[in-house]
Protein backbone atom coordinates (compact mmCIF):
# COMPACT_ATOMS: atom_id res chain seq x y z
CA UNK A 1 0.00 0.00 0.00
CA UNK A 2 1.28 3.41 -0.93
CA UNK A 3 -1.88 5.52 -1.18
CA UNK A 4 -1.13 9.23 -0.94
CA UNK A 5 -4.30 10.99 -2.13
CA UNK A 6 -7.33 8.77 -2.80
CA UNK A 7 -8.15 5.09 -2.44
CA UNK A 8 -11.12 3.26 -3.92
CA UNK A 9 -13.57 1.30 -1.77
CA UNK A 10 -12.52 -1.90 -3.50
CA UNK A 11 -8.81 -1.40 -2.80
CA UNK A 12 -9.43 -0.49 0.83
CA UNK A 13 -11.69 -3.52 1.31
CA UNK A 14 -8.95 -5.79 -0.06
CA UNK A 15 -6.47 -4.40 2.49
CA UNK A 16 -8.63 -4.63 5.63
CA UNK A 17 -6.94 -6.52 8.42
CA UNK A 18 -3.39 -5.74 7.35
CA UNK A 19 -1.24 -4.70 10.31
CA UNK A 20 0.18 -1.67 8.52
CA UNK A 21 -3.28 -0.16 7.83
CA UNK A 22 -5.14 2.28 10.09
CA UNK A 23 -8.60 3.52 9.09
CA UNK A 24 -10.05 6.68 10.63
CA UNK A 25 -13.70 7.76 10.47
CA UNK A 26 -13.95 11.56 10.28
CA UNK A 27 -17.67 12.00 9.72
CA UNK A 28 -18.96 15.37 10.94
CA UNK A 29 -22.09 17.49 10.59
CA UNK A 30 -21.76 21.23 11.24
CA UNK A 31 -25.36 21.55 12.37
CA UNK A 32 -25.00 18.70 14.90
CA UNK A 33 -21.45 18.34 16.18
CA UNK A 34 -22.08 14.89 17.69
CA UNK A 35 -23.84 13.36 14.68
CA UNK A 36 -20.67 12.05 13.06
CA UNK A 37 -19.51 10.26 16.18
CA UNK A 38 -22.98 8.79 16.73
CA UNK A 39 -22.98 7.48 13.17
CA UNK A 40 -19.54 5.91 13.73
CA UNK A 41 -20.76 4.18 16.88
CA UNK A 42 -23.70 2.73 14.99
CA UNK A 43 -21.80 1.52 11.92
CA UNK A 44 -18.36 2.01 10.40
CA UNK A 45 -15.70 0.48 8.18
CA UNK A 46 -14.39 -2.50 10.16
CA UNK A 47 -11.60 -1.47 12.52
CA UNK A 48 -12.09 2.26 12.02
CA UNK A 49 -11.52 4.61 14.95
CA UNK A 50 -13.03 8.09 15.05
CA UNK A 51 -11.50 11.57 14.89
CA UNK A 52 -13.77 14.51 15.76
CA UNK A 53 -13.43 17.73 13.78
CA UNK A 54 -14.01 19.99 16.79
CA UNK A 55 -12.29 18.03 19.55
CA UNK A 56 -9.42 16.40 17.65
CA UNK A 57 -8.78 18.29 14.42
CA UNK A 58 -9.26 21.83 15.80
CA UNK A 59 -8.27 23.82 18.87
CA UNK A 60 -11.19 25.97 19.93
CA UNK A 61 -9.17 27.46 22.77
CA UNK A 62 -7.45 29.76 20.29
CA UNK A 63 -8.70 33.31 19.61
CA UNK A 64 -10.94 34.37 16.73
CA UNK A 65 -7.97 35.40 14.59
CA UNK A 66 -7.29 31.69 14.03
CA UNK A 67 -10.76 31.12 12.51
CA UNK A 68 -13.75 28.96 13.42
CA UNK A 69 -11.69 25.75 13.25
CA UNK A 70 -8.23 26.75 14.47
CA UNK A 71 -5.44 24.29 13.77
CA UNK A 72 -4.54 22.07 16.70
CA UNK A 73 -1.01 22.32 18.02
CA UNK A 74 1.36 19.63 16.78
CA UNK A 75 1.68 18.10 20.25
CA UNK A 76 -2.09 17.66 20.54
CA UNK A 77 -2.24 16.14 17.06
CA UNK A 78 0.59 13.76 17.93
CA UNK A 79 -1.40 12.66 20.98
CA UNK A 80 -4.41 11.96 18.74
CA UNK A 81 -2.28 9.84 16.40
CA UNK A 82 -0.96 7.86 19.36
CA UNK A 83 -4.54 7.25 20.55
CA UNK A 84 -5.54 6.11 17.06
CA UNK A 85 -2.67 3.62 16.95
CA UNK A 86 -0.77 5.41 14.19
CA UNK A 87 2.99 5.37 13.72
CA UNK A 88 5.06 6.90 10.89
CA UNK A 89 5.17 3.45 9.26
CA UNK A 90 1.39 3.09 8.86
CA UNK A 91 -0.73 3.51 5.79
CA UNK A 92 -3.61 5.68 6.97
CA UNK A 93 -7.00 5.99 5.27
CA UNK A 94 -9.54 8.60 6.35
CA UNK A 95 -13.16 8.76 5.32
CA UNK A 96 -16.31 10.71 6.06
CA UNK A 97 -19.93 10.44 5.05
CA UNK A 98 -19.32 11.03 1.38
CA UNK A 99 -17.34 13.67 -0.44
CA UNK A 100 -14.35 14.08 1.90
CA UNK A 101 -15.13 17.65 2.90
CA UNK A 102 -16.36 16.89 6.46
CA UNK A 103 -13.73 16.16 7.51
CA UNK A 104 -11.56 13.47 5.90
CA UNK A 105 -9.62 15.95 3.77
CA UNK A 106 -8.80 17.99 6.89
CA UNK A 107 -7.35 14.89 8.58
CA UNK A 108 -5.42 14.03 5.41
CA UNK A 109 -3.93 17.52 5.27
CA UNK A 110 -3.00 17.59 8.95
CA UNK A 111 -1.12 14.30 8.55
CA UNK A 112 0.68 15.70 5.51
CA UNK A 113 1.48 18.79 7.58
CA UNK A 114 3.10 16.43 10.09
CA UNK A 115 5.19 14.88 7.33
CA UNK A 116 3.19 11.66 6.92
CA UNK A 117 3.18 10.63 3.26
CA UNK A 118 1.14 7.41 3.19
CA UNK A 119 -2.27 8.87 3.95
CA UNK A 120 -5.29 8.83 1.64
CA UNK A 121 -9.01 9.61 1.63
CA UNK A 122 -11.59 6.97 0.78
CA UNK A 123 -13.06 8.17 -2.51
CA UNK A 124 -16.81 8.55 -2.03
CA UNK A 125 -16.60 7.95 1.70
CA UNK A 126 -18.95 5.79 3.71
CA UNK A 127 -21.71 6.31 1.14
CA UNK A 128 -19.65 4.71 -1.62
CA UNK A 129 -18.53 1.95 0.76
CA UNK A 130 -22.05 0.93 1.71
CA UNK A 131 -23.39 1.38 -1.82
CA UNK A 132 -21.04 -1.39 -2.91
CA UNK A 133 -22.26 -3.66 -0.12
CA UNK A 134 -18.87 -3.75 1.60
CA UNK A 135 -18.69 -4.90 5.24
CA UNK A 136 -19.54 -2.63 8.14
CA UNK A 137 -19.10 -3.09 11.87
CA UNK A 138 -20.53 -1.70 15.11
CA UNK A 139 -17.71 -2.92 17.35
CA UNK A 140 -15.66 -0.03 18.72
CA UNK A 141 -11.96 -0.73 18.28
CA UNK A 142 -9.35 -0.34 20.99
CA UNK A 143 -6.15 0.18 19.02
CA UNK A 144 -2.79 -0.40 20.63
CA UNK A 145 -1.16 2.99 21.32
CA UNK A 146 0.77 4.32 18.39
CA UNK A 147 4.00 6.25 18.35
CA UNK A 148 4.27 9.71 16.89
CA UNK A 149 6.36 12.82 17.52
CA UNK A 150 6.38 15.28 14.66
CA UNK A 151 6.10 19.00 14.23
CA UNK A 152 3.98 20.76 11.64
CA UNK A 153 5.75 22.05 8.53
CA UNK A 154 5.13 25.83 8.54
CA UNK A 155 6.01 26.11 4.85
CA UNK A 156 2.68 24.43 4.01
CA UNK A 157 0.63 27.08 5.82
CA UNK A 158 -0.01 30.61 4.57
CA UNK A 159 -0.10 33.30 7.25
CA UNK A 160 -2.37 36.32 7.52
CA UNK A 161 0.66 38.59 7.06
CA UNK A 162 1.45 36.86 3.78
CA UNK A 163 -2.14 37.21 2.58
CA UNK A 164 -2.10 40.91 3.46
CA UNK A 165 1.18 41.34 1.62
CA UNK A 166 -0.15 39.73 -1.56
CA UNK A 167 -3.32 41.83 -1.81
CA UNK A 168 -1.80 44.36 -4.24
CA UNK A 169 -0.80 41.63 -6.70
CA UNK A 170 -2.82 40.30 -9.64
CA UNK A 171 -5.92 38.30 -8.70
CA UNK A 172 -5.97 34.54 -8.85
CA UNK A 173 -3.33 33.60 -6.29
CA UNK A 174 -6.01 32.62 -3.74
CA UNK A 175 -8.67 29.92 -4.32
CA UNK A 176 -11.78 30.04 -2.13
CA UNK A 177 -13.56 26.69 -1.69
CA UNK A 178 -16.90 28.05 -0.45
CA UNK A 179 -20.17 27.94 -2.34
CA UNK A 180 -20.51 30.65 -5.02
CA UNK A 181 -23.26 32.56 -3.22
CA UNK A 182 -21.10 32.85 -0.10
CA UNK A 183 -18.06 33.85 -2.12
CA UNK A 184 -20.06 36.59 -3.84
CA UNK A 185 -21.36 37.83 -0.49
CA UNK A 186 -25.02 37.21 -1.27
CA UNK A 187 -25.50 35.07 1.84
CA UNK A 188 -23.40 34.32 4.90
CA UNK A 189 -24.87 31.77 7.30
CA UNK A 190 -21.81 31.31 9.51
CA UNK A 191 -19.57 34.36 9.69
CA UNK A 192 -20.30 37.99 10.67
CA UNK A 193 -19.28 39.50 7.31
CA UNK A 194 -20.18 38.37 3.79
CA UNK A 195 -17.84 38.38 0.81
CA UNK A 196 -14.31 37.19 0.11
CA UNK A 197 -10.67 38.19 0.41
CA UNK A 198 -9.71 40.58 -2.41
CA UNK A 199 -7.79 38.79 -5.13
CA UNK A 200 -9.47 35.44 -4.53
CA UNK A 201 -11.21 33.40 -7.19
CA UNK A 202 -13.90 30.87 -6.43
CA UNK A 203 -13.22 27.13 -6.73
CA UNK A 204 -16.09 25.49 -4.80
CA UNK A 205 -14.92 22.16 -3.42
CA UNK A 206 -17.97 20.55 -5.02
CA UNK A 207 -16.41 21.24 -8.42
CA UNK A 208 -13.86 18.53 -7.61
CA UNK A 209 -16.58 15.88 -7.61
CA UNK A 210 -18.80 13.99 -10.00
CA UNK A 211 -21.46 11.67 -8.67
CA UNK A 212 -20.06 11.90 -5.15
CA UNK A 213 -16.57 10.75 -6.23
CA UNK A 214 -13.53 12.78 -7.20
CA UNK A 215 -13.20 13.53 -10.89
CA UNK A 216 -10.45 11.68 -12.77
CA UNK A 217 -6.97 13.04 -12.14
CA UNK A 218 -6.54 14.26 -15.71
CA UNK A 219 -9.80 16.21 -15.58
CA UNK A 220 -8.88 17.90 -12.31
CA UNK A 221 -5.38 18.64 -13.63
CA UNK A 222 -6.83 20.49 -16.63
CA UNK A 223 -9.25 22.46 -14.45
CA UNK A 224 -6.63 23.52 -11.91
CA UNK A 225 -4.05 24.35 -14.59
CA UNK A 226 -6.62 26.70 -16.11
CA UNK A 227 -6.91 28.43 -12.72
CA UNK A 228 -3.15 28.45 -12.14
CA UNK A 229 -2.25 30.06 -15.45
CA UNK A 230 1.49 30.71 -15.37
CA UNK A 231 1.72 30.12 -11.61
CA UNK A 232 3.15 26.99 -10.06
CA UNK A 233 1.02 25.15 -7.46
CA UNK A 234 3.36 26.37 -4.71
CA UNK A 235 2.34 29.96 -5.50
CA UNK A 236 -1.30 29.17 -4.79
CA UNK A 237 -3.04 29.72 -1.44
CA UNK A 238 -6.23 27.83 -0.56
CA UNK A 239 -8.96 29.13 1.74
CA UNK A 240 -12.60 28.56 2.62
CA UNK A 241 -14.77 29.52 5.58
CA UNK A 242 -12.67 28.07 8.39
CA UNK A 243 -9.80 26.09 6.89
CA UNK A 244 -11.64 22.78 6.50
CA UNK A 245 -12.96 22.57 2.94
CA UNK A 246 -9.84 24.36 1.67
CA UNK A 247 -8.16 21.01 2.35
CA UNK A 248 -10.51 19.44 -0.21
CA UNK A 249 -8.92 21.56 -2.94
CA UNK A 250 -5.47 20.60 -1.63
CA UNK A 251 -6.45 16.93 -1.86
CA UNK A 252 -7.91 17.35 -5.35
CA UNK A 253 -4.71 19.02 -6.55
CA UNK A 254 -2.59 16.25 -5.05
CA UNK A 255 -4.79 13.68 -6.80
CA UNK A 256 -4.30 15.66 -10.02
CA UNK A 257 -0.51 15.55 -9.69
CA UNK A 258 -0.29 19.23 -8.73
CA UNK A 259 0.85 19.22 -5.09
CA UNK A 260 2.34 22.17 -3.26
CA UNK A 261 -0.52 24.63 -2.76
CA UNK A 262 -0.66 25.99 0.78
CA UNK A 263 -3.67 26.44 3.05
CA UNK A 264 -4.59 29.71 4.73
CA UNK A 265 -5.87 28.00 7.86
CA UNK A 266 -7.84 30.88 9.46
CA UNK A 267 -9.57 31.43 6.11
CA UNK A 268 -12.55 33.78 5.84
CA UNK A 269 -13.63 33.47 9.47
CA UNK A 270 -10.17 34.45 10.69
CA UNK A 271 -9.82 37.17 8.09
CA UNK A 272 -12.99 38.99 9.17
CA UNK A 273 -12.11 38.74 12.86
CA UNK A 274 -10.40 42.07 12.17
CA UNK A 275 -13.07 44.29 10.62
CA UNK A 276 -10.41 46.67 9.31
CA UNK A 277 -9.31 44.13 6.70
CA UNK A 278 -10.63 44.67 3.18
CA UNK A 279 -13.57 42.68 1.85
CA UNK A 280 -14.64 42.08 -1.75
CA UNK A 281 -18.04 41.02 -3.07
CA UNK A 282 -19.38 39.79 -6.40
CA UNK A 283 -17.54 37.55 -8.83
Residue pLDDT, tens place only, 181-209: 999 999 999 999 999 999 999 999 999 99
Average pLDDT of every residue of the chain: 98
C-alpha–C-alpha distance, residues 224 and 257, integer Å: 10
pLDDT at 176: 98
C-alpha–C-alpha distance, residues 205 and 177, integer Å: 5
231 within 8 A of 126, measured Cβ to Cβ: no
Q: Which among 170, 179, 225 is positioned nearest to 199, based on CA atoms? A: 170
Dihedral pair phi/psi, residue 91, rounded to 5°: -85, 120
Omega within 30 of 0 (cis) for the link into 103: yes
**Which residue of the set 240, 253, 263, 265 is catalytic?**
240
pLDDT confidence band for 44 (50 / 70 / 90): very high
C-alpha–C-alpha distance, residues 88 and 51, integer Å: 18
Q: Would you kindly state where each structural domain of the chain is located, as residue ranges?
A: 6-152, 155-271
Q: Residue 58 belongs to what H/E stretch? A: none
Average of per-residue pLDDT across 2-23: 98
Q: Which among 186, 271, 207, 281 is positioned nearest to 237, based on CA atoms? A: 271
Average of per-residue pLDDT across 143-154: 97
Residue pLDDT, tens place only, 53-85: 999 999 999 999 999 999 999 999 999 999 999
Beta bridge partners of 119: 92
Residue pLDDT, tens place only, 202-245: 999 999 999 999 999 999 999 999 999 999 999 999 999 999 99
- The CATH number given to 155-271 is 3.40.250.10
Q: Examine the residue annotation and report whether 240 is marked as an active-site residue of this protein.
A: yes
pLDDT at 51: 98
C-alpha–C-alpha distance, residues 231 and 181, integer Å: 26
User: Does CATH place domain 6-152 in 3.40.50.2000?
Assistant: no
Average of per-residue pLDDT across 271-275: 98
pLDDT confidence band for 255 (50 / 70 / 90): very high
- Provide, rounded to the nearest whole percent, the portion of the chain with pLDDT above 70: 100
Dihedral pair phi/psi, residue 176, rounded to 5°: -105, 125
User: Please, is 196 exposed, middle or buried when counting C-beta atoms within 10 Å of its C-beta (0-12, 13-18, 19+)?
Assistant: buried
6-152 and 155-271 agree in CATH topology: yes
pLDDT at 206: 98
C-alpha–C-alpha distance, residues 195 and 115, integer Å: 34
**What are the start-end ranges of the E strands in the chain?**
6-7, 21-25, 49-50, 91-95, 119-122, 174-176, 200-202, 209-210, 213-214, 237-239, 262-263
C-alpha–C-alpha distance, residues 126 and 134, integer Å: 10
Residue pLDDT, tens place only, 102-146: 999 999 999 999 999 999 999 999 999 999 999 999 999 999 999
Q: Which among 100, 90, 135, 139 is positioned nearest to 121, based on CA atoms? A: 100
pLDDT at 74: 98
C-alpha–C-alpha distance, residues 23 and 59, integer Å: 23
Amino acid sequence: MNWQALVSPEDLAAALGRAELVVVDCRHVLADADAGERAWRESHVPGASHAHLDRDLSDHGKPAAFGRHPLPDAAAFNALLVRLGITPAHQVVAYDAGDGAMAAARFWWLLRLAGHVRVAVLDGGFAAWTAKGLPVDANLPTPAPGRYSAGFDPSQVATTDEVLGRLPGPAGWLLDARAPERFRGEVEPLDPVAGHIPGAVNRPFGANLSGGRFKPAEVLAAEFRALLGARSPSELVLSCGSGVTACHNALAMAHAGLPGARVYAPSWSGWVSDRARPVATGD
